[in-house]
Amino acid sequence: MSYNNEKIFVQGWIRNCRFQKKVFFINLNDGTCLKDLQIVCKENITIDFNYIKEKLQIGAAIYVTGRFIMTSDSVQPFELLASKIIILGTSSNQYPIQPKKHSRTFLRQLTHLRLRTKLFGAIFRIRSSVCQTIHNFFHQEGFFYIQTPIITSGDCEGAGELFQVTTLDLNQIPLDKNRHVNYQKDFFGKKTFLTVSGQLEAEALALSLNKVYTFGPTFRAENSHTTRHISEFWMIEPEMAFYNLQQNIELAQKMLQKVIQKCLEENIQDFEFLQQHIETQLIERLRTVVHLKVFPKITYEEALSILLKSNVKFENKIFYGADLASEHEKFLTEVYFKTPVFIIDWPIKIKAFYMKNNLDNKTVASMDLLVPKVGELIGGSQREENLDVLMQKIKDFNINRKELEWYLDLRRFGSCIHSGFGVGLERLLIYMTGIDNIRDVIAFPRVNK
């Protein structure tokens, strides 16, 4: 069936207009895809030609009926010959999004309007696709989607600064007899925070439902003004009963490859736009990752040895027990391997208490996936399933065990090996879009003053 000459209607926003004496052209976009529809208006239009012409400002919303015309032009394979135009919502010359290049810094002040630009439209259609593909991937792999709590009572991860959540009147803080804040009077009767990770709760549910994943917001109150950090971001945290570290690694690779592959299929126009304007080799870079059979995997010690042998003068010292700095990650993944690379078996002391001790009693069965442009994209581990070892680690890490009795129950009753990892959604988007600032891949970024 050919749509040529079919009568149709469209609604959307004016991206641009070109006026000639007896004809004018409108680029109309309804947000659903990158490309505009060209609308051709000739004098035979049923509304006053000059009146309409005046109202057609960039950003206005219009309703158009007309005939769909197939053209022989391959760049513009069809257009709409308008018979009627209705102005739904006018615009004005105050409209800040004009058909020219705006800096991303400027657009960051206009979060409510910036998705109307080609660039941000592309980024956020891809973001949606990434999210929906992730859900779809886990569904097909037999995972249950769970929600872990946002308001929590502790920082067991030791992941950094926390946001406090309270209903106390800060102008009239109730005090206890020691003149400290009386949290008995707070909403939950204790001090509460925003979550930094849903992992511990996800473990409880994996040891009930087998394979689960979270998809939700997490928070860090870090005073950081880098292009990689943000106070509120979204995390995906799968957690699997009966999985060891190697199975965990294979799942992470499979997830990443499937997500990239599917999103490239669904959003190729948007990726092409990004390739044209943001990163020249973007699509090829992503395709290469999809086709990799196995991502390289090295131990932390091997990573140190590669770095030491590199003859590069790093600013940060390399020694056993030090975390890798950004420059080290960059070297390993961008210069040495030129692909994503798993670093496994990290020293016990620089990783979280819940990670499984290896037999060497020096390292844990953990993995970080480093990728070019981003550095650490995924962090995960096998979890310590042995009750005695875990209790000792809680002690060694100076963590309040009372808060974790429920977590220890998971090792008291039907413990089993299990593993999981966390992916930062925004970091994944930086990786997939080539955009270099995390504030440009989340709709309403939350950063400190």
Residues 99-138 that bind its own copies (CB under 8 A): 111-113, 115-116, 120-121, 124-125, 127-128, 131-132, 135-136
Which residue, 44 or 128, has its beta carbon nearer to its own copies? 128
Using CB under 8 A, which of 103, 189, 293, 319 touches its own copies? 189
Q: Are 344 and 357 in contact (CB under 8 A)?
A: no
CB of 163 to its own copies, least distance (A): 5
Pick the stretch among 65-73, 165-173, 247-255, 273-281 that binds its own copies (CB under 8 A). Answer: 165-173
Which residue, 3 or 145, has its beta carbon nearer to its own copies? 145
Using CB under 8 A, which of 204, 290, 322, 325 touches its own copies? 204
Using CB under 8 A, which of 44, 164, 280, 281 touches its own copies? 164
Q: DSSP string covering 175-219, please?
A: B-TTSSB-GGGSTTSS-EEE-S--HHHHHHHHHHHSEEEEEEEEE
DSSP SS3 for 238: strand
Shortest CA distance to 4 belongs to which of 69, 81, 66? 69
Pick the stretch among 140-148, 279-287, 359-367, 371-379 that binds its own copies (CB under 8 A). Answer: 140-148
Pick the stretch among 69-77, 229-237, 280-288, 429-437 that binds its own copies (CB under 8 A). Answer: 229-237
Which residue, 148 or 419, has its beta carbon nearer to its own copies? 148
Residue 209 near its own copies by CB under 8 A: yes
Residues of span 25-44 touching its own copies by CB under 8 A: 30-32
Question: In this structure, how many other beta carbons lie within 10 angstroms of the beta carbon of residue 57?
Answer: 15
CB of 282 to its own copies, least distance (A): 21
Using CB under 8 A, which of 91, 224, 244, 246 touches its own copies? 91
CA-CA distance, 383 to 243, in Å (whole number)?
10
Residue 221 near its own copies by CB under 8 A: yes
Which residue, 43 or 176, has its beta carbon nearer to its own copies? 176
Residues of span 387-416 touching its own copies by CB under 8 A: 406-407, 409-416
DSSP SS3 for 429: helix
Spatial CB neighbours of 430, under 8 Å, sequence gap ≥ 6: 228, 373, 374, 436, 438, 441
Using CB under 8 A, which of 49, 144, 314, 337 touches its own copies? 144
| Rg, the chain, Cα only | 27
CB contact burial 407-419 (16+ within 10 A = b; e otherwise): beebbeeebebbb
Q: Judging by beta carbons within 10 Å of its beta carbon (0-12, 13-18, 19+), is residue 65 exposed, middle or buried?
A: middle
Using CB under 8 A, which of 237, 279, 385, 440 touches its own copies? 385
Pairing outcome for strands 78-89 and 144-146: unpaired
Shortest CA distance to 358 belongs to which of 337, 338, 382, 380? 382
CA-CA distance, 421 to 386, in Å (whole number)?
19
Residue 3 near its own copies by CB under 8 A: no
Q: Are 421 and 380 in contact (CB under 8 A)?
A: yes
Using CB under 8 A, which of 37, 82, 205, 235 touches its own copies? 205
Pick the stretch among 72-80, 337-345, 376-384, 438-446 that binds its own copies (CB under 8 A). Answer: 438-446
Using CB under 8 A, which of 5, 46, 71, 208 touches its own copies? 208
Using CB under 8 A, which of 2, 75, 100, 142 touches its own copies? 142
β-sheet bridge partners, residue 341: 370
Which residue, 135 or 228, has its beta carbon nearer to its own copies? 135
Pick the stretch among 92-100, 320-328, 340-348, 363-371 that binds its own copies (CB under 8 A). Answer: 92-100
Which residue, 2 or 167, has its beta carbon nearer to its own copies? 167
Residue 449 near its own copies by CB under 8 A: yes
Residue 320 near its own copies by CB under 8 A: no
CB contact burial 291-320 (16+ within 10 A = b; e otherwise): eeeebebbebbebbebbeeeeeeeeeebee
Residues of span 240-299 touching its own copies by CB under 8 A: 241-242
Q: DSSP string covering 369-427, please?
A: EEETTTEEEEEEEEB---HHHHHHHHHHTT--GGGGHHHHHHHHSS---EEEEEEEHHH
β-sheet bridge partners, residue 371: 375
Which residue, 58 or 322, has its beta carbon nearer to its own copies? 58
Residue 148 near its own copies by CB under 8 A: yes
Question: In this structure, how many other beta carbons lie within 10 angstroms of the beta carbon of residue 115?
Answer: 18
CB of 113 to its own copies, least distance (A): 7
Spatial CB neighbours of 181, under 8 Å, sequence gap ≥ 6: 168, 173, 174, 175, 191
Which residue, 145 or 335, has its beta carbon nearer to its own copies? 145
Number of residues this chain uses to bind its own copies (CB under 8 A): 96
